[in-house]
């Protein structure tokens, strides 16, 4: 029987979910690189502005809606710093088009990432429940088989053998449940005595 483990052990997903610190560092490096390009390359601001979608999207996918919206705001802020320091100008339409695109990108991608993560958590939980139910059914079947055999022994007059089988069955049931729940789990009746006490009937 496989031992059940919680979903926290199932580290799967894209690299930026598994290593958010690295994703944040890459995003900061992208922001810095884009700002450097704006200072060093002239006459191509429209093309460079398109690169802002990279760090904004990466942060939104990694951290969700709030950080995605903040990343879009940061991109707009860095654009404002560059325009202010370089003496360039933008028309109201230019500001609106750039700011709206970056903010919507961060918000929408972040919201989508949140929904994907939530759906993934729900799916993992459903898989855990299905596995738990299957293992519980296996325990139930095994214990019932042992109990039926013990009942037959008792009815046949083989009382000692029947009681021994009952004791063994109870011990096996405790071991299986503890194995399913984890080695640190505490089971009633398993804590103060190594084997359950069974009253032997008088012959």
> What average pLDDT does range 169-187 have in this prediction?
66
Confidence band for 62, pLDDT divided at 50, 70 and 90: very high
CA 105, 111, 23, 77: dihedral to nearest 10 degrees? 40
Task: Let me know if residue 25 belongs to a domain.
Answer: yes
Task: Let me know if residue 189 belongs to a domain.
Answer: no
Q: What is the C-alpha to C-alpha distance for residues 4 and 133, in angstroms, rounded to an integer?
A: 11
| Res 203: pLDDT | 43
Task: Let me know if residue 84 belongs to a domain.
Answer: yes
Task: Let me know if residue 138 belongs to a domain.
Answer: no
Structure tokens at 193: 């005595």
- The secondary element (H helix, E strand) that includes residue 164 is helix 159-181
57, 105 contact by CB (below 8 A): yes
Could you read off the pLDDT of 42-59 as tens digits, one per residue? Answer: 665 667 878 899 999 999
Query: pLDDT at residue 110 above 80?
Result: yes
Structure tokens at 87: 């003496």
Query: pLDDT at residue 20 above 90?
Result: yes
Domain boundaries, position 25: 7-122
176, 1 contact by CB (below 8 A): yes
Task: Let me know if residue 199 belongs to a domain.
Answer: no
Number of domains in the chain: 1
How much is the mean pLDDT over the chain? 79
> What average pLDDT does range 112-128 have in this prediction?
90
With tokens 């139930």, the residue in question is 140
Could you read off the pLDDT of 150-167 as tens digits, one per residue? Answer: 888 888 888 888 788 888
| Res 108: pLDDT | 96
Task: Let me know if residue 38 belongs to a domain.
Answer: yes
| Res 162: pLDDT | 78
Q: What is the C-alpha to C-alpha distance for residues 203 and 201, in angstroms, rounded to an integer?
A: 6
Task: Let me know if residue 193 belongs to a domain.
Answer: no
Task: Let me know if residue 176 belongs to a domain.
Answer: no
Q: What is the C-alpha to C-alpha distance for residues 110 and 73, in angstroms, rounded to an integer?
A: 13
> What average pLDDT does range 131-146 have in this prediction?
79
With tokens 């230019």, the residue in question is 94
Q: What is the C-alpha to C-alpha distance for residues 104 and 73, in angstroms, rounded to an integer?
A: 10
């Amino acid at each position: 029987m496989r031992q059940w483990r919680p979903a926290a052990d199932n580290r799967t997903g894209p690299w930026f979910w598994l290593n958010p610190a690295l994703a944040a560092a890459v995003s900061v490096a992208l922001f810095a690189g884009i700002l450097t390009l704006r200072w060093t390359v002239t006459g191509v601001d429209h093309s460079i502005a398109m690169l802002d979608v990279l760090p904004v999207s990466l942060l939104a996918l990694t951290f969700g809606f709030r950080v995605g919206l903040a990343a879009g705001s940061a991109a707009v802020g860095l654009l404002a710093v560059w325009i202010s320091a370089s003496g360039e100008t933008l028309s109201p339409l230019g500001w609106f088009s750039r700011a709206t695109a970056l903010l919507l990108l961060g918000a929408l991608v972040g919201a989508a990432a949140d929904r994907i993560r939530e759906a993934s958590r729900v799916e993992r939980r459903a898989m855990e429940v299905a596995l738990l139910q299957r293992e519980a059914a296996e325990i139930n079947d095994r214990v019932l088989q042992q109990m039926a055999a013990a009942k037959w022994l008792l009815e046949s007059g083989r009382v000692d053998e029947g009681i021994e089988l009952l004791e063994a069955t109870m011990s096996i049931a405790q071991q299986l449940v503890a194995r399913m729940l984890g080695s640190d789990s505490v089971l009633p009746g398993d804590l103060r005595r190594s084997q359950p006490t069974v009253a032997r009937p008088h012959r």
